[in-house]
A and B are shown apart, each in its own frame.
Chain A
C-alpha cells in the first residue's frame, strides 16, 4: 500500500485536487434565490472568495488607473488644446441645431405624455445616477466583466443598469464595498429585454461566446431590416424603457436554434473601450425636475419657432413686411409680444399707393398728371 501511494503520489494529488474542484463546481452551479424571487449570481461563500480576490487586485488597478489618468489629463488639458476654439465653434453650431431638433420633438413628446397619462401607462424616468470609472477587466475574453471604482459605499447594488450617453452597456453583478463588477451586454451570461423601435417587435438580447450581441428568440419576419434601431423594453426590470441599445447589423438563420433567426446587434456604446459609465441608482414614475425644465424650455423654443414660421408666412405674402420691421427672418416677437407688420410705404408712388395722389382741391380738371 505504501509503495502504491509513493509510486502514484503525483497522480493521486492531481486527482484529489481536480475532484475537490469538480465537487465545488457542482455546489456553485446551484445558485441561491434572493428575496425578490430572482437568482443570486453567487452563493455566500463564493462571494466571500471573490471579494478576497478582487480586494487583492483592485487597489493596484486603481493606482494604475489614476496614474495613467493623470498623464492623459495633462496631455488633454494642456498639450492637446490646439483646435479647441474651432471645435468649440462647431459644438456651438451643433448645440443650436440640437435645440431646434429638440423643440421639434417637444410637441410629439408632450402628446405622448398626454396619451400615456390617459392610458395610465407607468413610465420609469431615470432619477439618479452615479458616475464610475472603469479600472480593470476580468483578464479573460471568455468573461466580459469590467471593474468599476465605485461600490456599495457609493450606493451601488447588484442588477443596477449601467449606461453611457451613447447607450446601454450592461448591469452590475457583484458589488463590493469600494468596487463593483460590470457584466457587459456581450457576455455569454448577459441578457436584456428589447424592442425594435419601428416595428415594435419585442425580443431578448443575449451575449455570445464570441463577444457579439444577438437577439435569437425571433422567427423570420420580413418587417425586420438591418439598420433598425433597438431600444430597451423595460420588461426585464433592470433597464428602464426606451434606452438606446444599438442597431441591427445582420440577420441570418440561427443554425443552433431553428427556426429562429440570429439577429446581430451593433451596440451604440463601444463596449471594448469604456472609460466612464453611469450606474442608474434610482428611477421614478414622474419626470424629474431637470427634465421638466428642459421640456418647458423646448416647448418655449417650439412656440417661438411657430411664431417665427407665422411671421415668415406673412413676410412671404407681404414682401414689404420685412423692410417695415427692419430685419429679415425676424423672430416675430419682442419681449413675448407678437409684432404686427406695418407697411413702410411704396417705393414708387402710384395711384394705388395711400397718400400718393395730391388732394382733390389741388387738382385741375384736364391737367396732366403730376410727376
Chain B
C-alpha cells in the first residue's frame, strides 16, 4: 500500500486536476453562461465562470495558478462581450489570486465558508468591474447598482453550493 506523508496543512489540502477537467470545465461553464440566458434571460445574473475560477483557485491553493486561470477565463468572457479585452481578465485574475490566498487561511470544504467566499468574491468582482470601467476605460456612464449586485452575490453564492459539490468529484491529490 502506498504511503503518503504530508508536511503541512497546505500540502494536505492542496488538490490537482486532470488536464482535460482543467480545460473543459471552464469552457463548458462559459458555454452554458452564453446559452442559458437566451432561453431564461434572468439567468444572466449568475456568473458561472466566476464560481469555477474560485473553485479551482481554492482547490489548488496556488496564487499563480489562480491568477492565470482567472485571467484566461476572464479574457475568454471578454471575447464574447463588447467589452475590451482585459475587463473581466483583470477582475477574475485578481479574484483567482485572492481566492487562492484565502484558501490557505480557511477550511474551504466547509459549506458555510464556501457560501461566504462566493458571496464576498462576487461583490469584489462587481466593485472591480466598476472601478475598471470608471478608472481605466474612463466610462463615466458606468453605474454600480448596489441592490442588483447584492442579489447577484446571493445568487452566485447559492449556485456555488451544487457546483462545488459536483466539481469536488474531479479533485485529485497531487
Q: Does A139 contact B (CB under 8 A)?
A: yes
Q: For residue B100, which residue of chain A has the nearest CB?
A: A10
Q: For residue B96, which residue of chain A has the nearest CB?
A: A14
A350 → chain B, closest Cβ, in Å?
77
Given contacts A25-B137, A53-B79, A173-B82, contact A136 B34 (CB under 8 A): yes
Contact indicator A141/B45 (Cβ below 8 Å): yes
Q: Does B44 contact A (CB under 8 A)?
A: yes
Q: For residue B38, which residue of chain A has the nearest CB?
A: A137
The distance in angstroms between the C-alpha atoms of A25 and B129, with both chains bound, is 13
Q: Does B120 contact A (CB under 8 A)?
A: no
Contact indicator B34/A17 (Cβ below 8 Å): no
A249 → chain B, closest Cβ, in Å?
19
Q: Does B16 contact A (CB under 8 A)?
A: no
The distance in angstroms between the C-alpha atoms of A41 and B129, with both chains bound, is 20
Please tell me the number of chain A residues within 8 Å of chain B, measured between CB atoms: 51
B60-72 vs A, CB cutoff 8 Å, 1 = contact: the mask equals 0001100110010
**Which residues from 104 to 118 on chain B have a C-beta closer than 8 Å to any C-beta of chain A?**
none
Contact indicator A57/B38 (Cβ below 8 Å): no
**Which residues from 230 to 263 on chain A have a C-beta closer than 8 Å to any C-beta of chain B?**
none
**Which residues from 39 to 82 on chain A have a C-beta closer than 8 Å to any C-beta of chain B?**
41, 46, 49-50, 52-54, 56-57, 60-61, 64-65, 68
Contact indicator A41/B82 (Cβ below 8 Å): yes
Q: Does B85 contact A (CB under 8 A)?
A: yes
Q: Does A21 contact B (CB under 8 A)?
A: yes
Q: Which of A18, A46, A273 contacts B90 (CB 8 A)?
A: A18
Q: Does B145 contact A (CB under 8 A)?
A: yes
Contact indicator A21/B142 (Cβ below 8 Å): no
Contact indicator B82/A187 (Cβ below 8 Å): yes
B131-149 vs A, CB cutoff 8 Å, 1 = contact: the mask equals 0100011100111010010
B68-110 vs A, CB cutoff 8 Å, 1 = contact: the mask equals 1001000111111111111111100110010001000000000
The distance in angstroms between the C-alpha atoms of A173 and B33, with both chains bound, is 21
A17 → chain B, closest Cβ, in Å?
5
**Which residues from 185 to 206 on chain A have a C-beta closer than 8 Å to any C-beta of chain B?**
187-189
Contact indicator B143/A209 (Cβ below 8 Å): yes
Contact indicator B82/A143 (Cβ below 8 Å): yes
Given contacts A145-B80, A209-B143, A210-B148, contact A21 B38 (CB under 8 A): no
Q: Does B30 contact A (CB under 8 A)?
A: yes
Contact indicator B79/A52 (Cβ below 8 Å): yes
The distance in angstroms between the C-alpha atoms of A187 and B83, with both chains bound, is 11
Q: Does B21 contact A (CB under 8 A)?
A: no
Contact indicator B80/A54 (Cβ below 8 Å): yes
* Number of A-B contacts defined by CB within 8 Å: 139
A57 → chain B, closest Cβ, in Å?
6
**Which residues from 112 to 151 on chain A have a C-beta closer than 8 Å to any C-beta of chain B?**
134-143, 145-147
Given contacts A14-B93, A18-B90, contact A139 B37 (CB under 8 A): yes
Q: Which of B33, B85, B141, B145 contacts A139 (CB 8 A)?
A: B33
**Which residues from 145 to 203 on chain A have a C-beta closer than 8 Å to any C-beta of chain B?**
145-147, 173, 181, 183, 187-189
Q: Does B162 contact A (CB under 8 A)?
A: no
A21 → chain B, closest Cβ, in Å?
4
Q: Does B22 contact A (CB under 8 A)?
A: no
Contact indicator B30/A139 (Cβ below 8 Å): yes
Q: Does B31 contact A (CB under 8 A)?
A: yes
Contact indicator A57/B30 (Cβ below 8 Å): yes
Q: For residue B47, which residue of chain A has the nearest CB?
A: A140
Q: Does B35 contact A (CB under 8 A)?
A: yes
Q: Which of B47, B81, B138 contacts A29 (CB 8 A)?
A: B138
Given contacts A13-B67, A21-B90, A210-B143, contact A137 B34 (CB under 8 A): yes
Q: For residue A189, which residue of chain B has the nearest CB?
A: B82
The distance in angstroms between the C-alpha atoms of A169 and B134, with both chains bound, is 28
Given contacts A24-B86, A28-B85, A210-B148, contact A142 B129 (CB under 8 A): yes
Listed from nearest, the 3 A-B pairs whose CB atoms lie closest are A53-B79, A143-B81, A21-B86
Query: Could you list which residues of chain A lie within 8 angstroms of chain B, going by C-beta atoms?
Result: 9-10, 13-14, 17-18, 21-22, 24-26, 28-29, 41, 46, 49-50, 52-54, 56-57, 60-61, 64-65, 68, 134-143, 145-147, 173, 181, 183, 187-189, 208-210, 272-273
Query: Could you list which residues of chain B lie within 8 angstroms of chain A, going by C-beta atoms?
Result: 27, 30-31, 33-35, 37-39, 41, 44-45, 47, 49, 63-64, 67-68, 71, 75-90, 93-94, 97, 101, 129, 132, 136-138, 141-143, 145, 148
Can you give 30 contacting A-B residue pairs, CB < 8 Å? Answer: A9-B64, A10-B64, A10-B101, A17-B68, A17-B93, A21-B71, A22-B86, A24-B84, A24-B86, A28-B86, A29-B137, A50-B85, A57-B30, A60-B31, A61-B35, A134-B38, A135-B38, A137-B34, A137-B37, A138-B34, A139-B37, A139-B49, A140-B81, A141-B37, A141-B44, A142-B81, A187-B82, A188-B141, A209-B141, A273-B41
